[in-house]
Structure 1
Amino acid sequence: MSDRISIVVVDDHPLFRQGVVSALQGEPDFQVVGETDSGEQALQLARTLMPQVMLLDVSMTGWNGITTAEKVSIACPATAIVMLTVSDDKDRLLAAFKAGARAYVLKGVSAQELARVVRAAAAGEVYVSQSLAGEMLVSLTQGKAPDPLQELTAREREILALIGNGFTNRQIGEKIFLSEQTIKHYVTNILQKLQVRSRVEAALLANRHDRGTR
């Protein structure tokens, strides 16, 4: 099925990670496209595979889950991050959501509940236990870069320029040898990074920026 939810699983405990992957692969609407035990590799997988959802362990060696979530959410804002943890520590929860996570799940959750959370995150919903929700809401705002165009990668700038020239997703894909679906993911990332609602607004913002730097 082409409309399955693509998922990357990140956890440095192999047995637990394998269990999560096995449980998710049992769902007909899920497709696990990658797995790793490190935050650094998770960022590379996010950029390469652009999954709809990333399940991310909070406590890892090297980059921890919070650091990884922040880097992934900046590089690939269209990827919904679901944090996996053994702790309901409120400070960690708040840090996770500040870093860009959409869900915070205890590792003792059932496979059915985890599947429900993944679907909710992919649909843009936020998940957190009711007891912690109130304390989380006061600290959700994230600082944004003064110039959002600086957040775009070289590839995203290339695609934005083609959007500004009136190319469709399919035409852009044909021009730079990527699939139409991959271009769609790139466009979603671009719109979210620029905090605009449409391709037209993104192109106008880029054009205003170009005029301002001449």
Structure 2
Amino acid sequence: MIKMIIADDQAIVREGLSLVLGFDDEIEIVLQAKNGQEAVEYLKDNECDIVLMDIKMPVLNGVEATKIIHQEYPNVKILILTTFNDYEYIFQALKNGANGYLLKDTDGKELIADVKKVYNNESIIGSQISNSLVAGLQNNSQQDMIASLTSRELEIARAIADGKSNKEISTMLFLSEGTVKNYVTNIFEKLQLSNRTEVALFMKKYE
């Protein structure tokens, strides 16, 4: 028997999920929690296999509750079920130890199947979530590239984005043109770009 907690601040959602999941003979709902804190408190004295967790809840949200449960009760699986197809929510939940992330438009049969997969140590990421995660990771990679620039390189990259030439940058920053040129070369390498136009577009899009 798979013992489950449903953590969601909306009563109608909790009750609906309990009905859907309760139809399966292998699933037992042991608690309907209004927030992450209630789920954490229950686990102090009771056993549970999976927590079905919403993200935005009062008192203790799903992301923070996931972190606590993963650290204190590592054998408990966590499946996020939410309306938020947002990279930051997805990334933080998975980083904090969630075993899966689904959207609330998932149908009942699929949800039951995914619960059983998570119980059997599989990780579940809905197809829509995968697209958002890939896009977010790509954007995060660009942010890391910008973070790799020194303060001077960042200053020059911003000047390039503003359309300034090496000569204008050298005058503005009291540097020789040769020094500016060296900085620009470093910027090209760190951002994996080949010309000033690409740098300008990159900075406007990702900074």
Q: Output the TM-score relative to the length of structure 2.
A: 0.62
| CA deviation map 1:80-124 (0-9, x unaligned) | 100111021111111000111001010111111110111011111
Match 2:44 to one of 42, 47, 52? 47
**Residue 101, structure 1, aligned to residue 98, structure 2:** yes
1:124 maps to a residue whose letter is: N
Selected match of 2:86 from 67, 81, 89:
89
Q: Residues 9 and 54 of structure 1 are in contact (CA less than 8 Å); yes or no, is this contact kept in structure 2?
A: yes
Superposition map of 1:134-145 within 5 A: 135=134
Contact in 1 for aligned 2:102/2:125 (Cα 8 Å): yes
Which has the larger Rg? 2
Map of 1:187 onto structure 2: none
Amino acid at match of 1:73: H
> 13, 16, 22: which one pairs with 2:13?
16
Corresponding position of 2:196: none
Q: Hey, what does 2:120 align to over in structure 1?
A: 123
Q: Which runs of 5+ in 1 are unaligned?
A: 140-214
Aligned in 2, Cα 1:137/1:26: closer, same or farther, shift over 3 Å?
farther
Moved over 4 A (4+): 136-139
In structure 1, the partner of 2:66 is 69
Unaligned runs of 5+ in 2: 141-207
Distance of aligned partners of 1:19 and 1:132 in 2 relative to their CA distance in 1, 3 Å threshold: closer
Root-mean-square deviation (Å): 1.9
1:131 to partner: Cα distance: 5.3
Say how many residue pairs are matched: 136
In the alignment, the residues of structure 2 paired with residue 137 and residue 28 of structure 1 have an alpha-carbon distance, to the nearest angstrom, of 39
Q: 2-side partners of 1:60 and 1:111: how far apart? A: 22
What is the alpha-carbon distance in structure 2 between the residues aligned to residue 8 and residue 137 of structure 1? 30
Q: What TM-score, normalized to structure 1?
A: 0.60
Q: 1:7 pairs with 4, 9, 16, which one?
A: 4
Native 8 Å contact 2:9 2:34 kept in 1: yes
Distance in 2, matches of 1:49 and 1:33, equals 9
> Residues 56 and 111 of structure 1: is their aligned pair in 2 closer, same or farther, counting only changes over 3 Å?
same
CA gap 1:113/1:62 in 2 versus in 1, 3 angstroms: same
1:47 CA displacement: 2.6
* CA deviation after TM superposition for structure 1 residue 132, in Å: 4.3
Write out aligned runs for 1:133-212 (5 A).
133=130, 135=134
Q: For residue 39 of structure 1, what is the amino acid of its counterpart?
A: G
CA–CA distance in structure 2, aligned partners of residues 131 and 32 of structure 1:
27
What amino acid is the match of 1:45? Y
Tell me by how many angstroms 1:137 deviates. Answer: 8.3
Among all aligned residue pairs of Structure 1 and Structure 2, give the percentage whose two residues are the same amino acid. 23
Shift of 1:61: 1.1
Which amino acid counterpart does residue 26 of structure 1 have in structure 2?
A: F
